[in-house]
Copies of this chain bind each other. A is one copy, B any other.
Amino acid sequence: MRAEIISVGTELLLGEIVDTNAAYLSQRLARLGVDVLYRVTVGDNLARLSEQIRQSMSRAEIVILCGGLGPTEDDLTREAIAEATGRRLISLPEIEQWLQEFFASRGRQITPNNLRQAQVPEGGRTLANEVGTAPGVALEVEGRLIVALPGPPSELHPMWERHAEAIVRDFTARAESGRSLYTRVLRLVDIGESQVANDLADLISAQTDPTIALYASPGEVKVRLATKASGPQEAARRFAPIEEEVRRRLGAHVYAVDDETMEQVVGRLLRERGATLAVAESCTGGLIGHRITNVPGASDYFLADYVTYSNEAKRDVLGVPEEILRTYGAVSQECARAMAEGARRRAKATYGLATTGIAGPTGGTPTKPVGTVFIAVADESRCVADGFCWPTERVVFKERVAQMAFSRLRKFILGEI
């Protein structure tokens, strides 16, 4: 089963925004076993957009559009689908009514343009938008499935997860006598792809059903199990024994499953223990705190992050001894240790986490080149500090250090280091 993704919007072609929807939809389609062979971006132009829909329908069974569903004159996705498929646009009274109520509830006057959002190509249906006013559209025509989603990621993600994915899954299942692809992704850190490939070599070479595939992305390796099943329970039964075996071999590296992020995992571990966290950052400059606080409810366990960029701040707020700074320098295992302990003590937190390193491009020395970093984790009774060296671009370095810091904290909480 093949799909194409068409991103719609002149603002994309002008480079004013980065298209994250295309990557999101690609991932979700891959997980359903749907191959994406082409993605195309087209501007707000009716002729080019409808022509593109026709070309994509000629190459793929599923065409997903994102963007161009809003109320302005520039929003042409509905019209383009109608033109490409030779269907009339018809207005759905229940959606018109919903739009009218939506505007009335906000004390705003509805305009004729807003009512265009109640239109679908004949034979199509709308997908509810719980975040904005533009409903999605789904239409089957000539054995092809066309799905149109709104452009803002905050609307597109929930619409995909609550409505569109089930429609795509149903479409693919009908083509395969009721079975569709289910996947389970184990996310590993602190291990390279080749090591995982080596440790799972016999499983990978003997795979039949479920299949096992490895994917490396920055800071992690994913082990993806996939099986065709008639429902999630049947899939889960097939995944269980193989997941158990993977975890038996590499369990210490598995930090999450499917979509859970590292900061969510760490937040969950802290919450489960009624524990709290204080951070002391130097080279990461606030990135660790930023990631922690991206998770709703972080204030339940996150107390403070002391971004002590200057030596004076390290002394003053964290109580790093002058002697350590003089003898070992701010970028040292000793300093990282004193920072983690200092942060924990200062905030009266269960755990302290610290980073100190040289992000570059300048500031390196022969013994401590650019890319040198020390990470420490402490609780009441112990403190673990380690050094790493990742000479790379400044922002990439910060991201890599933050990811490793989270990983060290996770292992420390679990008693693995």
Contacts and interface: CB of A to CB of B under 8 A. Distances in A.
Contacts of A394: 294, 296
Nearest to A396: B154
Interface stretch (A8-16, A98-106, A112-120): A8-16
A283 B52 CA distance: 44
A328 interface: no
Interface centre among A48, A286, A303, A316 (most CB of B within 10 A): A286
A417 interface: no
Given A13-B26, A14-B215, A361 B287 contact: no
Contact of A289 (B16, B217, B289): B289
A293 interface: yes
Contact of A41 (B38, B45, B283, B288): B38
Nearest to A31: B15
A18 interface: yes
A360 interface: yes
Q: Is the interface of A mostly helix, strand, loop or mixed?
A: mixed
A45 to B, nearest CB: 8
B15 A347 contact: no
Interface string A139-179: 00000000000000010000000000000000000000000
Interface residues of A, number: 76
B39 A41 contact: yes
A239 interface: no
Interface stretch (A88-96, A306-314, A373-381): A306-314
Interface centre among A15, A299, A359 (most CB of B within 10 A): A15
A298 interface: yes
A13 to B, nearest CB: 5
Interface string A15-31: 11111101111111110
A238 interface: no
B307 A304 contact: yes
A398 interface: yes
A290 B38 contact: no
Interface in A50-107: 52
A40 B39 contact: yes
Contact of A13 (B36, B348, B362, B393): B36
B313 A285 contact: no
Given A43-B37, A347-B313, A19 B23 contact: yes
Contacts of A197: none
28 contacts: A12-B23, A15-B22, A15-B26, A15-B30, A16-B23, A37-B45, A38-B40, A38-B48, A154-B396, A279-B307, A284-B293, A285-B294, A286-B286, A286-B290, A290-B398, A293-B359, A294-B395, A296-B359, A296-B362, A296-B394, A299-B309, A299-B363, A303-B309, A305-B307, A306-B306, A306-B317, A312-B347, A313-B347
